[in-house]
Amino acid sequence: MELTLSLAVGLLIASGVWLVLRPRTFSVVLGLTLLAYGVNLLILLSGRLGATSPPIAMKGASGLADPLPQALVLTAIVIGFGMTAFLVTLSLRAMGETGNDRVDPADQGRAGKDPDG
Amino acid sequence: MGVPASHLVLAALLLLPFVALPLVALAAGASRRAGGFATGFTMLGGLLLLAMIARPVFAGETLVVTLPWLSQWGLDLALRLDGLGLLFVILINGIGLLIVLYAYYYMPDDDRLGRFYLTLLAFAGGMLGVVLAENILLMLLFWEITSLTSFLLIAYKYREKEARIAARMALAITGGGGLALLAGLILLGQVAGSYMLTDILARGDLVRESALYPATLVLILLGAFTKSAQFPFQMWLPNAMAAPTPVSAYLHSATMVKAGVFLLARLYPALSGTDLWFVLVTSAGAITFVLGAYLALLKHDFKGLLAYSTISHLGLITMLLGLSTPLSPVAAVFHIINHAVFKASLFMAAGIIDHECGTRDMRRINGLMRYMPITATLGIVAAGAMAGVPFLNGFLSKEMFFAETVAHPALSGSAEFLLPGIATLGGILSAAYSARFVHDVFFNGEPADLPRIPHEPVRWMRLPVEVLVAIVLAVGLLPHLVVEPLLTVASVAVLQHPLPPFELAVWHGFNLPLLMSLVALGGGIIWYMRRERLFDLHERLSLQWSSPVAFERAYAGATAGARRAMRLMDSGTLRRSVLLYLGFTVLLAGWAWGGNPAAVAGPIATSLPDGTALFGVAVLLVALAGVLAFHRQRLLAIIYLSVVGLVVSLAFIRLSAPDLALTQLSVEVASIILLLLALRFLPQEGPIEEPKSRQLRDAAVAGGLGLGVSALALAMLTRPFETISAYHIANSKPLGGGTNVVNVTLVDYRGFDTLGEIAVLAMAALGIQALLHGLVLKPQVADARTLADRYPIMLRMLMRPLLPLALAVAVYIFLRGHNLPGGGFIAGLVAAIAIVLQYVSAGAAFAAPRLRLPFVGLLAGGLLIATATGAGSWLFGQPFLTSSYTYVTLPLVGTFELATAMLFDFGIFLVVLGTLLMVLTGLGQLGSREQPGAGES
């Protein structure tokens, strides 16, 4: 179980990073969303596995999950949305200003050459 | 209270210049004269404060004041006043006072002097800090203040390129030395086990025996030598003559350059007494002493002559400190005093001559004795002291210097004459340049085409010179009465033990030092008379390595090199920077891991995954592959992305985190709407434009990072841990008033964080609105308007009755949030999506006028409610937002507690709602604003 979940987190991160490194803004937005999934899962896992019930402190409840990572991740999800929205708007603005959706406007001027390889 | 008055006075002595800064600024703004008086009174005030506490210091006491500051880093506000500090405070404030008076007359009338007085005062404050600090880190802080303010003072005439270069050079060298000194002092503190001078000075043996002693010593010497312009760091000082003369007179006689030798004297008991100290300090001092004196003679600009002479005298002092005979530090302290006095007077006299003649070239200024006899006489006396003429103060300390070189036991045999020989050679050169200054400027025929006819300056301008020359004479004639108490107490402070017997007297009988003095004076005059041939030689072999041009070239080269290195790292493309950064992270993590597989899996055994988990991961794999494969077919990518989000939400449920699942699910809906809205204005398909090689390279970095994070997660999951949340769970109900610990954590335990987070969210929303403002974009897809079913009737009909239902669900989620999964964040998301769906199903033209929601008002209202809830606890005498904790301990208010947390949660709800609506409706209406018929736009 531990190995499976760890691999899932790693897969999310790897896919996210690869997309972030693409030259167009839309891919970067996709990539950052995946990165956020991966990081949120990782933080949640820091509470460890093995919990059998959600962190509701009822009388006699046992096997509660660790509430602290959950509280951290909850706000992280919402703020992640704010960041995604900001990034999307920024890329739209860049589209409006430069007429294309490249991450690096410098790419454009040296179209024939590989600008950063 | 237990604070003795003397401690307060000592603190006031240091604070006075800084406290006076705004007052001086005000006064200088009113008039030139008022600024001068304010600065002068500050200097005078320092002397008076010193007088109040000088008596115990003269009696041999050391005043130490300690105020705890950053004690855990060894940094306390600790001050100390002993004899050495006392001497320097007198020099700093006393000569400072004279400089203020002098500058008032020297500086051009159209200069209001505000900037001058402020910088001068800040500099004086920095110097006071250096000499009064008990904590060596505090001393360094003030050391840096003197570097920065001296930069401003040297660049005072910043419109002249020469001044700018000189200032930059001084800052580069002294600032670099400051960095070395920082390292050295930290080492010293570590070695001695304390950053307090009292401890360090008492633990000299510990320091000298440490393996770190050589590194410590070299680093500290770098600091001292750069500041005191010792070889090979002397070149900044002559260039600093670009500063106005009052600045030169202050910096290069009593203060700035003396900070270096002060440091050597201050740390003398801790660092001296080793061969390394003797070799490094004595040789640097000796080279500087002779080289400075030699170069001084070659300068035609008399300010340049004085500058090199200053270097030479600092070398003499350094050499004395290096000799480490029983009396050599005493001679060093004595020469610090004498040099400060005669050099300040010489600089000021030179300034008067410059001021009156309009030039500083000694080939044109001649025979001034006839034009300004009083100034000339003063200058001659001061120059005599510089040369070491009997009955003047410089003679006494120079003779002590000669005596110590003779008395030094380290070298024997044929090398026995090395030190006295160097001393005599330096003495000859000193006498020669002093003779040149006196003969060329005041005699030697008539002035050659001066810009104006020189005459005596105004009375008050000459007064500072007269005072200093009077001291030169008084010390020279009656050293026993005038200077011995101060010299003794300062020297005891340097040595930290009683002095061996010594006698300050003009006449010691015929002995070797006297002979050396006579040889020096006579030889100097002969050398001077032969100077023409020397000048010719110098013209031919002109030494360019210390010129500002060379420095500028080096400076420009270093800047260009740094820029090239920067461009290598940051080529201006974001992707390259990100790739470099991430790739470096992979390398670093790989290096730290070191290829040891045992380092990953911890002691806890892993369990086999169950069927649900395997299925989930399989779906995740397919969805991720979809996102990656179709990231150019953007609509498809969004669909696959939503599947990933769904799997993550389900994983949250599986991991007993229902709050997260709810949040993730609603954010997922909002994100997908957001991406779809944005996609209208972006190309539907990304072009294929990258070579395979780059995709593979990025894949390698991404794969490395993914593997690393997987290993990290596995390492974390297989290691035992003890959660700190037992406290949170146990106290959630009794103190937080709710059973949903996640929600209680958000609104109560970590309420302050949450407040910050919703503020960030609101900022993002406002930033998005600003970005959207005035944005004109052409939709990239066929406008929905042209299609028949623009707003599908089924959806429209379904959504309208659903709105109150969805809102009711939001209210329900909100209300139960404190006890069961839910709360302000989730309720806000649900309500926002319900409202946004009205826009989606029927269009903004239908929804906006009916809903009429003030989005900014929602944001502001939410933040205000949350903040006010936090501030409400002040009414109960409790800190911000830490309310509920104590409320419950009082009877009857248990229910009230619940209400405050809920109010805070309501603030969260409003901010989340406002943010989502603002962002989604803003993006949604982006296209319709310029439609229809906006044509090309």
Burial class of residue B202, CB neighbours in 10 A (0-12, 13-18, 19+):
middle
Sign for the pseudo-dihedral over CA of B882, B884, B890, B893: positive
Q: What CA–CA distance (Å, rounded) separates B398 from B307?
A: 19
Helix (H, G, I), strand (E, B) or coil at B133: strand
- Local confidence band at B881 (pLDDT 50, 70, 90 cut-offs): low
Flag whether pLDDT at B892 surpasses 60. Answer: no
**pLDDT of the residue at A116:** 41
Percent pLDDT > 70 in chain B is 92
B642 touches chain A (CB under 8 A): no
Least confident of A27-31, B199-203, B450-454: B450-454
**pLDDT of the residue at B789:** 61
CB contact under 8 A, A37 and B767: no
Counting Cα atoms < 13 Å in the Cβ hemisphere of B537 gives 9
Q: What CA–CA distance (Å, rounded) separates A57 from B734?
A: 10
CB contact under 8 A, A2 and B718: yes
CB contact under 8 A, B750 and A71: yes
B627 touches chain A (CB under 8 A): yes
CB contact under 8 A, B617 and A95: no
Closest Cβ opposite residue A34 in set B644, B678, B829: B644
Q: Does residue A113 lie within any of the structural domains? A: no
Flag whether pLDDT at B931 surpasses 50. Answer: no
CB contact under 8 A, A6 and B711: yes
Q: What CA–CA distance (Å, rounded) separates B645 from B672?
A: 10
B921 touches chain A (CB under 8 A): no
Q: What CA–CA distance (Å, rounded) separates B888 from B893?
A: 6
Q: What are the residue ranges of helices labelled H in B630-691? A: 634-654, 658-679
**pLDDT of the residue at B888:** 43
Q: What CA–CA distance (Å, rounded) separates B612 from B618?
A: 10
A25–chain B nearest CA distance, Å: 9
Q: Which residue, among B300, B237, B291, has the nearest Cα to B436 in the 3D structure?
A: B300
pLDDT in tens, B606-624: 888 888 889 999 999 999 9
Burial class of residue B329, CB neighbours in 10 A (0-12, 13-18, 19+):
buried
A23–chain B nearest CA distance, Å: 7
pLDDT in tens, A65-83: 888 899 999 999 999 999 9
CA distances from B285 to A75, B234, B706 (A): 64, 11, 60
Q: What CA–CA distance (Å, rounded) separates B17 from B128?
A: 9
Nearest-by-CA chain A residue for B759: A79
Least confident of B7-21, B698-712, B745-759: B745-759
* Mean of pLDDT values over B657-678: 91
Q: Does residue A31 lie within any of the structural domains? A: yes
Please report the residues numbered 764 through 793 in chain B whose beta carbons come closer than 8 angstroms to any beta carbon of chain A: 764-765, 767-768, 771-772, 775-777
Token pair recorded at residue B670:
């909002």
Phi, psi of B360 (to 5 degrees): -125, 15
* Mean of pLDDT values over B834-848: 82
- Local confidence band at B933 (pLDDT 50, 70, 90 cut-offs): very low
Query: For residue A47, which residues of chain B lie inside 8 Å, CB to CB?
Result: 723
B919 touches chain A (CB under 8 A): yes
Q: Does residue A56 lie within any of the structural domains? A: no
**pLDDT of the residue at B100:** 92
Least confident of A14-18, B368-372, B826-830: B368-372
Q: Who's near B347: CB < 8 A, 6+ residues apart?
A: B245, B248, B249, B252, B253, B303, B306
Sign for the pseudo-dihedral over CA of B641, B647, B653, B654: negative
CB contact under 8 A, A77 and B663: yes
Please report the ipTM that was assigned to this predicted complex: 0.91
Domain of residue A22, residue span: 2-49+65-103
Q: What CA–CA distance (Å, rounded) separates B273 from B376?
A: 44
- State the average pLDDT for chain B: 85
* Mean of pLDDT values over A39-45: 93
Q: What are the residue ranges of helices labelled H in B479-573? A: 479-482, 484-495, 512-529, 531-540, 548-569
Flag whether pLDDT at B169 surpasses 80. Answer: yes
Flag whether pLDDT at B897 surpasses 70. Answer: no
Query: For residue B617, which residues of chain A lie inside 8 Å, CB to CB?
Result: 4, 7-8
Nearest-by-CA chain A residue for B626: A15
Percent pLDDT > 90 in chain B is 35
* Mean of pLDDT values over B721-734: 81
Query: For residue A106, which residues of chain B lie inside 8 Å, CB to CB?
Result: 572-573
Please report the residues numbered 648 through 707 in chain B whose beta carbons come closer than 8 angstroms to any beta carbon of chain A: 648, 651-652, 655-660, 663-664, 667, 670-671, 674-675, 678-679, 681-683, 686, 689-691, 693-694, 698-699, 701-703, 705-707
Token pair recorded at residue A67:
């509430």
Containing B77, the helix (H) or strand (E) segment is: strand B75-81
Task: Find out whether B17 and B128 touch, Cβ atoms under 8 Å.
Answer: yes
Between B790 and A25, where is the model more confident? A25
Flag whether pLDDT at A58 surpasses 80. Answer: no
CA distances from B686 to B351, B633, B742 (A): 73, 7, 41
B710 touches chain A (CB under 8 A): yes
Least confident of B468-477, B670-679, B848-857: B848-857
Q: What CA–CA distance (Å, rounded) separates A20 from A87?
A: 12
Query: For residue A66, which residues of chain B lie inside 8 Å, CB to CB?
Result: 723, 725
pLDDT in tens, B542-570: 554 456 667 778 888 888 998 888 887 77
pTM above 0.80, yes or no: no
Closest Cβ opposite residue A82 in set B721, B725, B915: B915
CB contact under 8 A, A78 and B761: yes
B52–chain A nearest CA distance, Å: 59
Flag whether pLDDT at A115 surpasses 60. Answer: no
Query: For residue A82, which residues of chain B lie inside 8 Å, CB to CB?
Result: 760-761, 764-765, 915
For chain A, how many structural domains are there in total? Answer: 1
Q: Does residue A29 lie within any of the structural domains? A: yes
* Mean of pLDDT values over B748-777: 88
CB contact under 8 A, A91 and B682: yes
Task: Find out whether A109 and A98 touch, Cβ atoms under 8 Å.
Answer: no
Q: Does residue A32 lie within any of the structural domains? A: yes
**pLDDT of the residue at B415:** 66
Q: What CA–CA distance (Å, rounded) separates B520 from B197?
A: 39
Query: For residue A19, which residues of chain B lie inside 8 Å, CB to CB?
Result: 627-628, 631
**pLDDT of the residue at B733:** 76
* Mean of pLDDT values over B391-402: 88
Q: Which residue, among B779, B929, B635, B924, has the nearest Cα to A95 in the 3D structure?
A: B779
Q: Does residue A18 lie within any of the structural domains? A: yes
Query: For residue B772, which residues of chain A lie inside 8 Å, CB to CB?
Result: 89, 92-93
**pLDDT of the residue at B410:** 65
Q: What CATH number is given to the structural domain containing A72?
A: 1.10.287.3510
Containing B81, the helix (H) or strand (E) segment is: strand B75-81
* Mean of pLDDT values over B685-705: 86
- State the average pLDDT for chain A: 84
A35–chain B nearest CA distance, Å: 10
Q: Does residue A58 lie within any of the structural domains? A: no
- Local confidence band at B129 (pLDDT 50, 70, 90 cut-offs): very high
Closest Cβ opposite residue B656 in set A51, A85, A115: A51
**pLDDT of the residue at B542:** 56
Nearest-by-CA chain A residue for B700: A18
**pLDDT of the residue at A90:** 92
pLDDT in tens, B284-331: 999 999 999 988 888 888 888 999 999 999 999 999 999 888 888 999
